[in-house]
Structure 1
Amino acid sequence: MQTGNIGVKTENIFPVIKKFLYSDQEIFLREIISNAVDATQKLKALAASGEFKGELGDLTIKVEVDKKKKTLTVRDRGIGMNAEEVDKYINQIAFSGAEEFIAKFKTQSEAEAANIIGHFGLGFYSAFMVSSKVSLISKSCKEEGANGVIWECDGSPEYTMNEIPKGDRGTDVILYIADDAQEFLEEGRIRELLNKYCKFLPIPIQFGTRKVQEEIEGETDKDGKPKTKEVEKPWIINDVAPLWKKAPADIKDEEYNDFYHTLYPMNFGEPLFHIHLNVDYPFNLTGILYFP
């Protein structure tokens, strides 16, 4: 068993983080899922280069709420980490700029400081804005057959880290939601945030399941129409291949209009026209500009 102090000299770093991001508390979910997407993208890059020779399998990131345990969990099957990497990336790197961060926070307004978090590797620690404790369970893709590692912290600079049996590679981040943040145990609230921040991320993100009608192969009703049955399927909340990534020549006007209504569901009319942007010089820019 390993115990120690996170590499930060300032004892009150967590209260500062909470205060600094208090007005934008909900971004914690974006940060945790962004880390999961990055880990998955890194695994795909290793596989493409031949450094990872195992099966990629299902790379879906799963978001789970457990109201009884008061936990919110984000699971990925990405590159994962071993104990040494957890110590390096969680205990040290995240706070390498803590003193500078605090100095900037004290001299700037909250609005001006809104972009600081991304420059100091503090994204993971945004979880403590809504959590009384955070557990991270991880296993590196490079160490098949080895145990995983569990890292836990209650929001103080102290942490614990132990070996733990873990069958699959990847990382689980488990947030024990604090009493003053119980809204983040509501499925509707989490779905709202996933749609707001994760709608077009490049890795599938599952949140729960939903019932859909599926055709029964080879069976028809008295009118000759295919019979259907209700089945439960994973609810993937994001579009990993949004319309703007496709070639304009391959897209029909109806698809542009459908995408417009996906983005703006309360706008019932059709847009006057649209421009599909695909610029590669002097910078890369792709997108669709709609004129309502």
Structure 2
Amino acid sequence: MSEGQENLRTTEVDLGGLVSVLATHLYSTPLVALRELVQNAHDSHTRRRLEDPAGAAAHEPRITVRADAARRTLAIEDTGAGLTEPEIHAYLATVGTGYTRLLREVTGNEELIGAFGLGFLSAFSVAEEVTVTTTSHREPALGHRYRSRGGEQYSVEPAPARPRPGTVVELTLKPEHAHLADEAALREVLGRYCVLLAVPVYVGDDQRPVNDIAVPWREPVPQARLYAARMEFATAFGRRFEPLAAFPFEPVDGGTDAVGLLWVQDGGTYGSSDNRDLAVYLRGMLLADDARDLLPSWAGFIGGVVESNRLTPTASREDLQRDEHYRHLQQALADAIVNGLYETARLHPAAWRRILARHGQDLLGAALCDERLFTLLADDVPVPTSQGDLTAGALRAAGGGAVHVALGSGGGFEEMLYRAMRVPIARGDRYAVLPFLRRYAQLRDCRIVELGSEDGNRELFRDPEQPLPAEELGWLTAALADEGEQLVPARFEPPGLPLVLVPDREAELKARIEDDQADARIPSAALRLARAFTARTDGGTRARLYLNTASPAVQDLLRAYRAGHTGSATAAGLLRSLKVIMAAAGATGSAGGDLGAALAGVGTAVAALTAPATDELSAGLDRILGDDPRGADPHGSDPRGDDPRGDDSRGDDSPREQGEGVR
């Protein structure tokens, strides 16, 4: 014997401490004790059928749960195999040794649920005292009674034989768990825990078992009623939301043995809302009530039930081990959801329309995560736009073959532009809209105009036919633009809109991420990416003020300035005030200028325009502001056209005004 072997010692076990830890801290909720004891009762019936087929066939399997609030007791009774006295000592009173596990290994029967020999221990997490009265099918004339307080010590004594083999486990509940002795609450809990158990489970004197529900993937259902049966099950099982459509989940060769039902929930979702609701049953007993991680992260609108014999539970049997079977099930569920949505769109168009209307935002993101979903949804899923929800195809048609999308939230003159264009503009600030439309444009080989980006603005705002002289550009900049705004002469539709203020989205992002508190709000990796993206801009230009040189109002304003009309500065100031007011009304973060001063400026402009003046000056200003009451010239000439008398017709009495306009 080696020196190392000579020094080996036996590990001491503090049984009382171990029982206390396992009974008190292994399970997250006292309801687990109820589940474990019902599960043991189920396995007792399976064991009876395996060991004594003739005797099992002679009686109806049954599990009954009774509660007595006055005595503070809870009892679980079965008509299964029962226990002999040696079996009580070997399995019931030995932590970590389970006959069920041994029997499953020997017989290969996958209906047996128990695995770790710890289920009975859960009784001590809720009970002051546990009493087990049992009669084995092997010794039908003998009865035994097990008693234990706390689980550390126990006694076994003879008891009258039960009328038929089986076991009753009675718990004297701790005061803090007295609420478990409520039969109404038991019906609700057991109705969910035991819904897939093959053995009927009754509460009290009920004549109908709590698991008396048709399971559509287990029972033969006529094809004509199959969809209705699935919807009925989903409606009965769903806890929070009405199902909009239901579709099967079936085993995958070489992947998973799981089977069940999935459905689209009616619960409202937006973007990252996560209403995933999946219950997992292992051999008929609820294992995980909230197994949402098995569903794809994009499927926030999906609920379902699946059952499997291969998944591996944790020791508490409240969760699943993340092993190979788990990963196969994850992939199979993702595929089943995609296939189910395809089938719903093909076979149930009314339900499909409700799904699109209810979950359009979530489906936009889902489409980006799965190419098959994108193909399905590309032309159907609604996109939020300035004219309400429209499909990408409708956006494309209305935009003359181009899809227009705003990178910001709109507002101010930007919003005014979109309305004036009479083209629906997709809301690029909404969840998944921009990347979805970018991919759509690639798929359908169409243009995408991203308003607020440099390329998008260049396409929307074309260069003027002739550049403005530096002197005129300087005057317009001083009269119309605020600090941080760059005046850009351009041509754009419609000509009735003289100017539009478009925020620089890159500058906005740069300002946000350079905020003193940005590091605390934004993850460091995202912060580095954002800073790399905005490195190309110095952030000095917050917005671009596009001046529409194709606008008759702007053309008249420039003619008045060139002619030295004294009202040109007043008219320019009125346009500037209008810009500030509209930007403030739209509540854009890039709006510049003082709203109070802008409102005062309107009053000043009105006063100046209504002061005594020559008829010729009044008519000219009316044309600049688009308010000529005469309409078309009676002699056939365009009232907005060139003055036939030329720019010098006012002579030296009308000096050119170089002021900044109404501030």
TM-score under structure 2 length normalisation? 0.33
Q: In the alignment, is the contact (CA less than 8 A) between 1:200 and 1:241 conserved in 2? A: no
Q: Which runs of 5+ in 2 are unaligned?
A: 1-12, 99-113, 266-663
Query: Cα deviations across residues 167-208 of structure 1 (Å, max 9, x unaligned)?
Result: 320110000111111111122322222123112111000013
Q: Secondary structure at the match of 2:244?
A: coil
**2:246 pairs with 1:286:** no
Residues 196-221 of structure 1 deviation map (CA, whole Å, 9 limit, x = unaligned): 311211100001345xxxxxxxxxxx
Over alpha carbons, which structure has the higher Rg? Answer: 2
Which of 130, 144, 148 is equivalent to 1:134? 130
Answering whether residue 236 of structure 2 is matched by residue 262 of structure 1, we say yes
Alignment partners' CA distance in 1, 2:168 and 2:71:
16
Alignment of 1:98-137 (within 5 A): 120-137=116-133
Distance 2:27 2:50 in 1: 36
Q: Does the 8 Å contact 1:137/1:173 carry over to 2?
A: yes
Tell me which of 70, 73, 78 is aligned to 2:72: 70
Query: Partners in 1 of 2:260 and 2:56 — Cα distance?
Result: 35
The answer on whether the counterparts of 2:216 and 2:226 sit within 8 Å (CA) in structure 1 is no
Corresponding position of 2:159:
164
SS at match of 1:23: coil
Deviation of 1:25 (Å): 2.0
Instruction: Return the offset for 1:153.
Output: 0.1
User: For the residues of structure 2 that align with 1:47 and 1:148, how far apart are their CA atoms?
Assistant: 18
Alignment of 1:26 onto 2:31: yes
> For residues 200-211 of structure 1, what are the structure 2 equivalents within 5 Å?
200-209=196-205
Counterpart of 1:174? 170
Deviations 1:217-239 (A, max 9, x none): xxxxxxxxxxxxxxxxx131014
* 1:236-255 superposed matches below 5 A: 236-239=209-212, 242-246=215-219, 250=223, 251-255=225-229
Matches within 5 A, 1:191-206: 191-206=187-202
Cα distance, 1:19 vs structure 2:
3.2
Name the structure 2 match of 1:57: 59
The CA distance in 1 between the partners of 2:235 and 2:169, in whole Å, is 34
Q: Report if aligned partners of 1:139, 1:171 keep a CA contact under 8 Å in 2.
A: yes
Q: Provide the C-alpha distance between the structure 2 equivalents of 1:273 and 1:77, rounded to a whole number of angstroms.
A: 37
Match of 1:231 in 2: none
**What is the percentage of aligned positions where both structures have the same residue?**
26
Of 32, 44, 47, the residue aligned with 1:39 is: 44
Give the counterpart letter for 2:226 in structure 1: K
**1:180 corresponds to which letter in structure 2?**
E
State the distance in 2 between where 1:209 and 1:141 align. Answer: 25
Higher strand proportion, which one? 1
Q: Structure 1: any 5+ residue segments left out of the alignment?
A: 1-7, 98-117, 211-233
Indicate conservation of the 8 Å contact 1:61/1:206, yes or no.
yes
**Are the counterparts in 2 of residues 135 and 174 from structure 1 also a CA contact under 8 Å?**
yes
**TM-score, structure 1 normalization:** 0.73
- Alpha-carbon distance in structure 2 between the residues aligned to 1:277 and 1:120: 29
Change (3 A) 1:54 1:242: closer
1:54 Cα offset (Å): 6.4
Superposed displacement of residue 27, structure 1: 0.4
> CA separation in 1, counterparts of 2:213 and 2:62?
11
C-alpha separation between the residues in 2 aligned to 1:125 and 1:253?
42
CA distance in 2, matches of 1:41, 1:31: 15
Q: Are the aligned partners of 1:202 and 1:239 in contact in 2 as well (CA < 8 Å)?
A: no
Cα gap change, 1:241/1:9 in structure 2, threshold over 3 Å: closer, same or farther?
A: farther
CA distances 1:49-70 after superposition (whole Å, capped 9, x unpaired): xxx4465312110000112222
Say which SS state the counterpart of residue 93 (structure 2) adopts: helix
Residue 148 of structure 1 aligns with which residue?
Answer: 143
Alpha-carbon distance in 1 for matches of 2:200, 2:253: 27
Distance 1:53 1:248, change over 3 A: closer
Match of 1:275 in 2: 248
Name the amino acid aligned to 1:159: Y
Cα deviation for residue 247 of structure 1 reads 5.0
- 2:257 is aligned with what amino acid? N
Matched, 1:11 2:16: yes
Which amino acid letter does the alignment assign opposite residue 259 of structure 2?
A: T
Relative to structure 1, the CA distance from residue 273 to residue 25 in structure 2 (aligned partners, 3 Å threshold; closer, same or farther) is: closer
Residue equivalent to 1:87 = 89
For 2:181 and 2:246, locate their aligned partners in 1 and report how far apart those are by CA, in whole Å: 41
Q: Which residue of 2 aligns with 1:220?
A: none
In the alignment of these two chains, the number of paired residues is 236
Distance apart, 1:257 and its partner CA: 1.3
Distance 1:96 1:44 in 2: 21
- Residues 1:96 and 1:80: Cα distance change in structure 2 (over 3 Å): closer
Contact kept in structure 2, 1:133 and 1:153, CA below 8 Å:
yes
Residues 274 and 290 in structure 1, CA contact (< 8 A), matched pair in contact too: yes
Shift of 1:284: 1.8
Change (3 A) 1:247 1:281: farther
Q: CA deviation at 1:267?
A: 2.7
2:185 counterpart SS class:
helix
Deviation at 1:96, TM superposition (A): 5.6
Structure number with greater CO (CA < 8 Å, separation at least 6) is: 1
Separation in 2, partners of 1:248, 1:278: 18
Letter in 2 for 1:289: L
Amino acid at match of 1:184: L
CA 280–40 in structure 1, closer or farther in 2 if over 3 Å, else same: farther
- Kindly indicate whether the alpha-carbon contact (under 8 Å) linking 2:23 and 2:123 is maintained by their aligned counterparts in 1: no
Q: Residue in 2 aligned with 1:101?
A: none
Shift of 1:26: 1.4
Answer whether contact 1:245 1:286 (CA < 8 A) is retained.
Answer: no
